[in-house]
Amino acid sequence: MRLYAELAPWWPLLSAPADYAPEAESFLPMLLGDGDGAAAQSGTRPTLLELGAGGGNLASHLAPHFTLTLTDVAPGMLAVSRTLNPDAEHIEGDMRTLRLGRTFDAVLIHDAIAYMTSRDELRQALETAAVHCRPGGTVVVAPDFVRETFSPDTSHGGEDGDDGRALRYLEWMHDPDPNDETVEVLYTVVRREADGTANVSMERHLEGCFSRDAWYAEFAAVGLDARHVVDAWEREVFIARRIA
């Protein structure tokens, strides 16, 4: 996907790091277990693994609270994150197959979980989260929607950079077939270079759209005891404990 490859250096103008502060604040009590999770299990700063960390925008606001390991399948996005999160460990890897051979106090998957487009892929990603979470640790997964809450949407945004570059985008999300478990997202991105040169790119992304029951079945299948809460953005965020 061009959005995460050749357009990766433009990511801070498409999705500004500062915009993620409210989300990070909302995730903190979930990741820390309201005082009975990661922080209470050790006298040191808790460890957090984020799968599909992208450009590191969300992680930049969690850095004061955790020792971070950030993974993503796109090397260009990791390069952006390294600039934003210089003290974090960065590892290239696919959340479906990644195996680091160690566990963390908490594991987070933000909206990158959307790119799991089948139940098999969803289970693989959740299994990766489970095997990297210590017994009794916390897994937080924050999809943008479940099947029951999905609705078509159009959004737009973008930023002007200090270096003279600028970007604007249009995102159009719809569901061509409500009977399957995917939805389609169309992106148009307009980039303006510092010299005034303009470029337009368009691409189609396929995202998974699973029922609430399907989510709970896949969590249970990998040994995670899950529940969900509705956050300030009316998303259903799953909070799970690894069953020892």
Residue type, 70: L
Tell me the per-residue pLDDT of 115-150, one tens digit each, with 9 for 90 and over: 999 999 999 999 999 999 999 999 999 999 999 999
Residues 99 and 163 placed together within one structural domain of the fold: no
CATH number at residue 158: 2.20.130
Residues 54 and 127 placed together within one structural domain of the fold: yes
Note the pLDDT of residue 40: 47
Residues 103 and 130 placed together within one structural domain of the fold: yes
d(CA 224, CA 6): 36
Note the pLDDT of residue 33: 79
CATH number at residue 237: 3.40.50.150
Note the pLDDT of residue 36: 44
Residues 200 and 90 placed together within one structural domain of the fold: no
Candidates 205, 176, 177; CA nearest to 189 is 205
CB 81 within 8 A of CB 11: no
- What is the number of structural domains in the chain? 2
Residues 135 and 55 placed together within one structural domain of the fold: yes
- Mean pLDDT, the chain, rounded, equals 95
Residues of the domain holding 186: 153-208
d(CA 78, CA 54): 6
Ranges in the chain, pLDDT < 70:
34-43
Copy the structure tokens of residue 229. 């809460």
